[in-house]
Structure 1
Amino acid sequence: MGFLPNFVLKRVNAAEYDLAGVIVDANGSEFKEGDEVYGWIPFPLSISSGQGALTQYTRVPAINLVPRPSNITPTQAAGFALAGQTAYQALIELAKLEEGQSVFINGGSTAVGAFAIQIAKAKGAHVTASASAKNEEYVRGLGADEFFDYTKAPLHEQLIAANVTPKYQVFYEAVGIMDPALFIHSPAYLAPNGVFLSVGPSPSGAAYGTIASFAWNVLLRPSFLGGVKRKWKLVAVKPIPKDLKDFAKLVEEGKIRPLVDSVHAFEDTKAAYERLLSQRATGKVVVKVDPSVE
């Protein structure tokens, strides 16, 4: 949403995208009343319909829902869909990740990055991740085999100095940074046939010059003018029922665990947003509309 001025976007009636709940009207779908599910409202649908997840009753296309695995609670499932699918589709659909390959996750303590670590490990990959030193234990606990503290020095400089062998097959930028340095220098640590994945730049507070530099160096510069000879792909998550179901299966098998940072009552929603804005959350910030739900 970062690139679009507020006046371009249609105001929605309710905020947020991830949800978990109980079907009260199956409306002829594959579900039945009483089914416990989790899922999400895609951004384009939210904009066109005004529908958001932060409501007592939410109308959602059936393809955006999946039965909630019995080994997790509704509160835990509420934060799975969007970040989980962003990680899953990037590694499985775009990168075609295979067992034994090496993966780098930039932003291992972010929600997307944390899911990406778990998915890559479930696939049998060797995973290296970056985060600040205070989150090293958290990131390693998710399954990261190796760790880089991005606060020590520019990350691309650390990676060049590390002389990575073998080079990474997949480099997943899950932070949304504007600095194109990681991609520009990627031939030093990304295999020639590897892929650089990005959730897309998040230009919060970025100068137009920085945005222009990113566009030129990453998206526009041809190789004969010094462009990087590596494949760069933007991760644009889509509602694909099979991906939701395959992700849920990994949860059922215990290969992906919930990532809940904090839980807030509906009347304390403001505190939930304050927690998000603090940028200290590790995992999902959940608002519980029904106080009786686990």
Structure 2
Amino acid sequence: MTTYKAWYEIKKGHPSDALELKTGLPIPTHLRKGDVLVKVQATALNPVGYKFMTTIPNFLAGRPHVAEQDVAGIIVDANGSEFGVGDKVFGSSASPRNGTLAEYVAIPSSSLVTVPPNVSAVEASGLGIVVATAYQALVNQLKIESGQTVFINGGSSSVGLSGIQIAKSLGCKVVATASAKNKDLLLSLGVDEFIDYTQAPLVEQLKAKPPSPKFHAVFDAVGLTDPALYLNSAAYLAPGSTYLTAGTLPKTRKEILGMLRQAFEGLLRPTWLGGVPRKYGVVTVTLKKKDLETVRELVARGAVKPIVDSVHSFDRDGVLRAYEKIMSKRAVGKVVVKVADEG
């Protein structure tokens, strides 16, 4: 076999219009220094993928390029790296030139680590970005400690599910939100208190039953553009503590205004002028080798178990169904495209 297939983003738009399956691509035989060649077994979709696809112009997005970032597969050319041919690896690409929705990808070895023996390639494919995001948010930015109480909004999102498990592994009490259908899943991961956000606005529920003691940290894993949860956070977030939100790309005028208000109240308006008396931050993630090694260690010792929402085929119908699922915002865990059989 000397050629392969890959799904290219060719223009801005809905995946059904923006994606094109290119065939007959020559498998790379001369790799850049530091790159390895991976035969892809599975690729996990991330919300940032379709958000950029549908909103960012071509000249800013660097199109055409292969879609997606997360990957799990087998090393077929180690190119002098620390890996060997046949090693099972997972990781995440930081550059459009290394898109992963393909049968093969040339990717920096620094973007990969070996797959823990207790997970499959499908499970491993979704570990890179979401677990590292949750870990950096909770440990590096919020600096949570054993015995503290953490509030995680969006507990059934991929980042939220990882965040719950990481916080519990550190000895924290976790209060998390989701819809009622996901209650059992969150409780099975160790959530101490579950809040059904569909029953009433979260702010009303938290004010009606304020935590005692107040939360030591709030992690908004879904990146709400409705500012109410932050603007009222003094009622349930301890003084000196931080409200940290995942990044989001607002689409509607209401979402844009909500995001701007959150940023203004949290970052620009001082408390003595009526600003919210709680710290505000946005998740910043720089994926490095050490972060992936931390992710691997968490998974290998069972502190974090990957949760897969659904698995889809690599053909057009399968790929578009995968994007439909993740764009529905109803996925619980990772949406994965299976590219090749394991073995």
2:327 aligns with one of 256, 271, 277: 277
Q: d(CA) in 1 for partners of 2:258 and 2:173?
A: 33
1:83 aligns with one of 130, 151, 161: 130
CA displacement, residues 248-279 of structure 1 (integer Å, 9 cap, x when unaligned): 11211112112101111111211111111222
1:142 aligns with one of 184, 189, 192: 189
- Report how far residue 224 of structure 1 moved: 2.0
**SS of residue matched to 2:218:** strand
1:192 aligns with one of 232, 239, 248: 239
Q: d(CA) in 1 for partners of 2:64 and 2:265?
A: 35
CA displacement, residues 9-48 of structure 1 (integer Å, 9 cap, x when unaligned): 3224111111101111222222122111110012xx22xx
Could you tell me which residue of structure 1 aligns to residue 30 of structure 2?
A: none
Q: d(CA) in 2 for partners of 1:60 and 1:92?
A: 28
Kept after mapping to 1: 8 A contact 2:129/2:287:
no
Q: d(CA) in 2 for partners of 1:157 and 1:26?
A: 55
Q: d(CA) in 2 for partners of 1:86 and 1:10?
A: 24
Could you tell me which residue of structure 2 aligns to residue 229 of structure 1?
A: 277
Could you tell me which residue of structure 2 aligns to residue 253 of structure 1?
A: 301
Work out which of the two has the higher radius of gyration on C-alpha atoms and give 1 or 2. 2
Kept after mapping to 1: 8 A contact 2:244/2:282:
yes
Kept after mapping to 2: 8 A contact 1:196/1:230:
yes
2:314 aligns with one of 252, 266, 271: 266
Equivalent AA in structure 2 for residue 130 of structure 1 = T
Q: d(CA) in 2 for partners of 1:224 and 1:217?
A: 12
Kept after mapping to 2: 8 A contact 1:180/1:217:
no
Distance 1:212 1:194, change over 3 A: closer
Q: d(CA) in 2 for partners of 1:135 and 1:204?
A: 27
Q: Is 170-179 or 149-158 further displaced after alignment? A: 149-158
Kept after mapping to 1: 8 A contact 2:176/2:195:
yes
- Report how far residue 187 of structure 1 moved: 1.2
Equivalent AA in structure 1 for residue 299 of structure 2 = V
- Report how far residue 206 of structure 1 moved: 4.1
Q: d(CA) in 2 for partners of 1:260 and 1:209?
A: 34
CA displacement, residues 73-117 of structure 1 (integer Å, 9 cap, x when unaligned): 101101111111110111111122211111010000000000000
Equivalent AA in structure 1 for residue 165 of structure 2 = Q
1:103 is the counterpart of 2:150 = yes
Distance 1:181 1:217, change over 3 A: same
TM-score of the aligned structures, taking structure 2 as reference length: 0.80
Percent same amino acid at aligned positions?
Answer: 47
Could you tell me which residue of structure 2 aligns to residue 19 of structure 1?
A: 71
Could you tell me which residue of structure 2 aligns to residue 238 of structure 1?
A: 286
Distance 1:147 1:223, change over 3 A: same
Equivalent AA in structure 2 for residue 27 of structure 1 = N
Distance 1:255 1:209, change over 3 A: closer
Could you tell me which residue of structure 1 aligns to residue 117 of structure 2?
A: 70
- 1:50-65 alignment to 2 at 5 Å? 51-65=98-112
CA displacement, residues 127-168 of structure 1 (integer Å, 9 cap, x when unaligned): 010011121112212221101111122112211221211111
Q: d(CA) in 2 for partners of 1:77 and 1:124?
A: 25
Alignment: residue pair count: 288
Q: d(CA) in 2 for partners of 1:124 and 1:206?
A: 40
Could you tell me which residue of structure 2 aligns to residue 129 of structure 1?
A: 176
CA displacement, residues 179-201 of structure 1 (integer Å, 9 cap, x when unaligned): 11111111111111222111123
1:161 is the counterpart of 2:208 = yes
Q: Is 140-149 or 116-125 further displaced after alignment? A: 140-149
**SS of residue matched to 1:22:** strand
Kept after mapping to 1: 8 A contact 2:203/2:228:
yes
Could you tell me which residue of structure 2 aligns to residue 9 of structure 1?
A: 61
Kept after mapping to 1: 8 A contact 2:247/2:283:
yes
Q: d(CA) in 2 for partners of 1:287 and 1:225?
A: 50
- Greater strand share, structure number: 2
- Report how far residue 222 of structure 1 moved: 1.8
- Report how far residue 216 of structure 1 moved: 2.2
